[in-house]
Amino acid sequence: MSDIKLYDLKNNKQIKKCNVLDVKQMIEKHLKDVFKIDLLAKELKLEENSNDAISYLGLDENMQLVIIEYRYGKFGSLTKKGLFYIDYIKDHISRFKMIANDYKKGIADAINYNARLLVFCDDANSYDHYAIKQLPYTIELIQIHLYDGYVAFEKVYQSKNIDHSLLKFNLKALPYYDLYKYISDYVLSLGDEVIETANNNFVYFRKINTFAYMIFEKEIKLSILLDGKYVSYNISDADAFDKIVNMVEKSYDEC
């Protein structure tokens, strides 16, 4: 279990941990501003007469569906339920296309329906990490730390599954595939919490939010998030990337 202590340096005192009555409501309030996730549905029943319901279904900034669930205490079957929901979406894509179009007309065909599972918890341990590591899904475990007047979200573990199947082309067939690998390996090395995802013509890198992405044209265009805005660089070779690695690191640190 992670043990984060928060101090108020100005007043030279420790800020005490506390509890809130409705964690789900608190998370819902911050889905957009902190996690860059738009809420599509909540308490979404899978079948009319079923008790199974997705707590929150969202759409992230990379146009990927997100299943959002919560676990209270040290143990629970929430991850298994989440995996069931992932497979359910794959088997009922037409239903989820309707949900997407109800949210915003015309976006259904642009969405990645290989949903990722985002699990919030108030405690996590090595057994959680081990279980997630074995699974061929994109799963992220975020621990909530509540303090008097403050909340901290800590990504404590994630799967490292990288799926390029939704790209509209074969990365390995690109003439600059080695350059892509050079950039990808470096960005992923910045921290264990960095994950690589892909959709359409884009490859994204994110921690909790996306801090960099690549577009593949005549050369690689790398966009990095700096001071709240994406700045794009044309990368023709490794030397061109090496010249901006400090900006990539800055983006990683700020995100």
Encoded tokens for 19: 């509890």
Nearest Cα neighbor of 65 from 53, 74, 56 is: 56
- Listed residue (49, 41, 62) closest to 213, CA to CA: 62
Question: Are 52 and 84 in contact, with CB atoms under 8 Å apart?
Answer: yes
Query: How confident is the model over 174-200, as a mean pLDDT?
Result: 90
Task: Lowest mean pLDDT of 69-83, 101-115, 145-159, 220-234, name the range.
Answer: 69-83
Q: What percent of the chain has pLDDT over 90?
A: 43
Which residues make beta-bridge pairs with 213?
Answer: 204, 223
Mean model confidence pLDDT for the chain: 85
Rounded to whole angstroms, the Cα distance separating 242 from 179 reads: 11
pLDDT surpasses 70 at 104: yes
Q: Lowest-pLDDT range, 61-75, 120-134, 199-213?
A: 120-134
Q: What are phi and psi of 99, to 5 degrees?
A: -60, -40
Residues 175-204 have a mean pLDDT of 90
Q: What is the 3-state secondary structure (H, E, C) of the chain?
A: CCCCCEEECCCCEEECECCCCCHHHHHHHHHHHHHCEEEEEEEEECCCCCCCEEEEEEEECCCEEEEEEEECCCCCCHHHHHHHHHHHHHHCHHHHHHHHHHHCCCCHHHCEEEEEEEEEECCCCHHHHHHHHCCCCCEEEEEEEEECCEEEEEEEEECCCCCCCCECCCHHHCCCHHHHHHHHHHHHCCCCCCEEEEEECEEEEECCCEEEEEEECCCEEEEEEECCEEEEEEECCHHHHHCCHHHHHHHHHHC
Residue 120 structure tokens:
């919030």
Q: What is the pLDDT of residue 90?
A: 92
What pLDDT sits at residue 131? Answer: 67
Rounded CA separation 252/236 (Å): 22
Instruction: List the one residue out of 44, 46, 119 whose CA is nearest residue 77.
Output: 119
pLDDT digits (tens, 9 = 90+) for 23-62: 778 888 889 988 999 999 999 998 877 778 998 999 999 9
Burial label, 186 (beta-carbon count in 10 A; 0-12, 13-18, 19+) = middle
